[in-house]
A and B are shown apart, each in its own frame.
Chain A
Amino acid sequence: MKSRNLHEEALRIPLDNRAISYRNRILEVLEVSKRGHLGPAFSVIEIVDVLYREVMNTRAILDRAETRDRFLLSKGHGCLGLYVVLESLGLLEELNLNTFCSFNSPFGGHPESATIPVIEFSTGSLGHGLPVAVGMAKAAKMKNQKLQVFVLVGDGELNEGSIWEAAAHASKHNLDNLVVIVDYNEMQASGSVKSVLDMEPVVDKWQAFGFETSHVNGHDPIAISRELKRLSKKRQPRCVIAHTVKGKGIPEAENSSVWHHKAKINSSQIAGLKSGLQK
């Protein structure tokens, strides 16, 4: 019941100016690139923004210090949501986001560490981020570093078996410096998660794998900040179920498989999306 209420809350919560500004920026980029994953990007923006702005040690990230917190966007197709946050914080340095998906651009439809220095690890194929994050979190433990490793996975991505292999090992190694954030928008490319492959009860699954779990409204920056700053109480890895809305902020795109990924986006569609964006 709590889960259902949080999804309703995520749908209803108004976006603040920064949230709207990020979405407008994504629409600008899409107008040039004419393609991209809109829905997943709009789903993750507030989570990524709060992580970089309030939770992680962003100065250390900018300096590439060994003690920086790590963030992996395991659902790499949400990258536009990540790119606009990095851009606003000056973490992209001189790289030009307006080149998104063009031939010589550093910005592809999935984030690459080879072309964007601040990206910790290239992702794209689903189910890879969490195993790598487990390795990074274990490495930090072995080096007695206090850093935290955050990994954002999609709820559709939970279909992948490697997620659960990694979850079992995170628990085995008592990785209380690992935080898995599930972008729980209840949608995947072909429709609702429930209709494609119902993974419920998701919270029970993570708990059964030894994770300390909690819920948050994934579009409420204050709640996200409070939840992600909280440390593990029991030497366990943590899993935060972030209740989100795919395409959040534009009614036409919300909960829509059509706007999961789109190619050949034209200017009139962008104009329609912009006018639909909450003011």
Chain B
Amino acid sequence: MRQTALDTVYALAKKDPRVVFVGSDLGADTLKDMKVELPNQFFMEGISEQHLIGFVAGLAKEGFIPYVNTIANFLTRRAFEQIAMDIALHNLPVKLLASGGGMVYAPLGPTHTAVDDLALMSSIPNFRIFSPGDENEMRELLLRSVGDSSPWYIRFGKGGEPAFSPMNQLEPHKPKLMGETKPEVFFLTTGVLVHEVLQAMDELKKSDSRPVGVVHFPELTCLEFESWKERYLAARLVIVAEEHMPSGGLFSRILNKIHSENLDTRKIRQRSLPFRYLHNYGTQQEHLNFHGLDAISLLNYVKSN
């Protein structure tokens, strides 16, 4: 997913001289062809996220469209005030490309996992927040990013997931509805966790008579409730599943939305990572398994409810 994103930025930069790529010591191989072909649009800067965000705000104020890439938590935690004051307060078209969303960097420990990034970014006005589910979505979103004057935060999941969305999409940011149109069990999810949810749905079809539906949100700031309202109303069990801490992510947004619509929220259940620092290592998948977010755990959860 990251490589798709960087390749897309490179392609965008070839077409538009306003597009610049900015990284903070990301390794010698990062966009090495772009570095040679478009040296004036390629910046590999020092390990200095606070400066970097101010720097790109200055570039954006002068008409450039910076794409900034580093690990999600270094962006959101280390440079939080710069993101809020330099980018968001000025509503500048900076696109933050956040590697390692969720437990991708589980083997590296809690300093490197990003389980609060959606909450942090959700507290900042003006930002559009994206959590694409596969490489196709990522590419389609980024292809449209140049033409959008808002600041963006894009969470990358792990790479190599099978594509579940088509190559060409008219409106890649909008909720994607899958499964039954009148579900009894209704999953809401975002990001690469959609693959676990879809697998759970497929398994349920084999072993459970209840119709199952899924909605995936590539953009957390675009819930478009009307598009899935009927499904929500039909469902008896609504499960919000996300690779994030319990508060401030998709679950919080869904609750706010349903509450503002004056609808019953009591059928909503939450599957998320816990609100504590995780001191286990291993793989991302092991963490999903342990915290009940993998397909089998989700399947069992539905069966027990």
Residues of A participating in the B interface, judged by any CB pair closer than 8 Å? 113-114, 120-122, 124-125, 127-128, 130-140, 142-143, 161-162, 165-166, 168-169, 172
Contacts and interface: CB of A to CB of B under 8 A. Distances in A.
A135 B54 contact: yes
B85 A135 contact: no
Contacts, number: 93
A169 B40 contact: no
Contact of B63 (A132, A139, A165, A172): A139
Nearest to A149: B58
Given A113-B90, A161-B50, A166 B55 contact: yes
B55 A128 contact: no
Contacts of A114: 89-90
Given A139-B62, A142-B40, A169-B46, A131 B85 contact: no
Contact of B58 (A132, A143, A162, A172): A132
Nearest to A145: B62
A168 B46 contact: yes
Given A136-B61, A139-B64, A122 B85 contact: yes
Residue of A120, A127, A142, A161 with highest tally of chain B CB at under 10 A:
A142
A165 B54 CA distance: 11
Contact of A135 (B57, B81, B89): B57
Given A132-B86, A169-B46, A138 B54 contact: no
Contact of B54 (A122, A142, A143, A162): A162
Contact of A131 (B40, B53, B63, B89): B53
A158 to B, nearest CB: 14
B61 A135 contact: yes
Contacts of A140: 62
B51 interface: yes
Contact of A122 (B52, B56, B62, B89): B89
Interface in B56-110: 56-64, 81-82, 85-86, 89-90
Interface residues of B, number: 25
B48 interface: yes
B38 to A, nearest CB: 12
A75 to B, nearest CB: 15
A169 B62 contact: no
A168 B58 contact: no
Nearest to B57: A132
Given A139-B58, A139-B62, A162-B48, 11 more contacts: A130-B54, A134-B51, A135-B54, A135-B55, A135-B59, A136-B59, A136-B61, A138-B58, A139-B63, A143-B62, A162-B50
15 contacts: A122-B89, A125-B81, A127-B50, A128-B82, A131-B50, A131-B55, A134-B55, A135-B61, A136-B62, A138-B58, A142-B64, A143-B63, A162-B50, A165-B50, A172-B46
A169 B51 contact: yes
A168 B51 CA distance: 10
Given A132-B58, A140-B62, A162 B51 contact: yes
B26 to A, nearest CB: 16
B55 A169 contact: yes
Contacts of B180: none
Contacts of B59: 135-136, 138-139
Contacts of A136: 58-59, 61-62
B81 A131 contact: no
Please provide the 7 A-B residue pairs with the shortest distance between their CB atoms, ordered closest to farther.
A135-B58, A131-B54, A139-B62, A165-B51, A165-B48, A132-B58, A135-B55
B150 to A, nearest CB: 16
A131 B58 contact: yes
B45 interface: yes
A125 B84 CA distance: 11
